A and B are shown apart, each in its own frame.
Chain A
Amino acid sequence: GQNIDQPTEMTATEGAIVQINCTYQTSGFNGLFWYQQHAGEAPTFLSYNVLDGLEEKGRFSSFLSRSKGYSYLLLKELQMKDSASYLCAVSTTGGGNKLTFGTGTQLKVEL
């Protein structure tokens, strides 16, 4: 089976930096995605990592360590609109490269 863990909730201040961690145990690892989901809406794609290292995309960066089964999403210059759920998802080979989602981290950005 697969195990994907994230903290349930986090709170941060507007303008600050926050790091959301994700650990996973899986077989047939094929990459890791981060998605953002606002309440009542569909998830939207943020980033993809398959090789070790940091991928930067504007205010958002994502890091992966395959040997440690670990990833994080870094959000800089937090804005109120960043309050949302952040989902870590692992892609595995077979079955059309299906994505299995982690438990999700609810981020609250405060003034």
Chain B
Amino acid sequence: GAVVSQHPSWVICKSGTSVKIECRSLDFQATTMFWYRQFPKQSLMLMATSNEGSKATYEQGVEKDKFLINHASLTLSTLTVTSAHPEDSSFYICSARESTGADSPLHFGNGTRLTVT
């Protein structure tokens, strides 16, 4: 089945630094990837849609300058949390579909637990 790999699985950083999270589709190509954020005991919140070769589409309320997304190839999207603050501490999960059809389920990476001290 389709595999999405996310790295790192956890990271601790100091306030003010930047953190990059990688999301790779291992056995399929993904023109679109989705980045979600999840707070403890809450559901997944869509942050942005990453589009290969073009700008990401951000959801309302998500700061594009703070959460930089780059989708340089058909198998790799990156999310960079810039100038991280403690309130950015969260579980970040990326996902992708094998095909563009609406019935194609999203396959998720294992997530990245970010802690900003």
Interface residues of A (CB under 8 A from B): 30-31, 33, 40-45, 48, 50, 87, 89, 91, 93, 95-104, 106
- The answer to whether B100 and A87 have CB atoms under 8 Å apart is no
Set B34, B44, B103: member contacting A50, Cβ < 8 A: B103
Question: Apart from A91-B102, A101-B44, what 19 extra A-B contacts exist at CB < 8 Å?
Answer: A31-B103, A33-B106, A42-B111, A50-B102, A87-B43, A95-B57, A96-B32, A96-B49, A96-B51, A96-B100, A97-B104, A98-B34, A99-B106, A100-B46, A101-B45, A101-B46, A103-B42, A103-B43, A104-B42
Can you list 22 contacts pairing A with B, beta carbon distance less than 8 Å?
A30-B102, A31-B102, A31-B103, A40-B113, A42-B93, A43-B44, A43-B108, A45-B106, A48-B103, A89-B106, A93-B102, A95-B49, A96-B32, A96-B51, A96-B100, A99-B46, A101-B36, A101-B45, A101-B46, A102-B43, A103-B43, A104-B43
The reply to whether B103 and A42 contact each other, CB–CB distance below 8 Å, is: no
Set of chain B residues within 8 Å of A50, measured between Cβ atoms: 102-103
Q: Is the CB of B105 within 8 A of A48?
A: yes
A110 to B44, CA, bound (A): 26
- Number of chain B interface residues as a range: 20 to 34
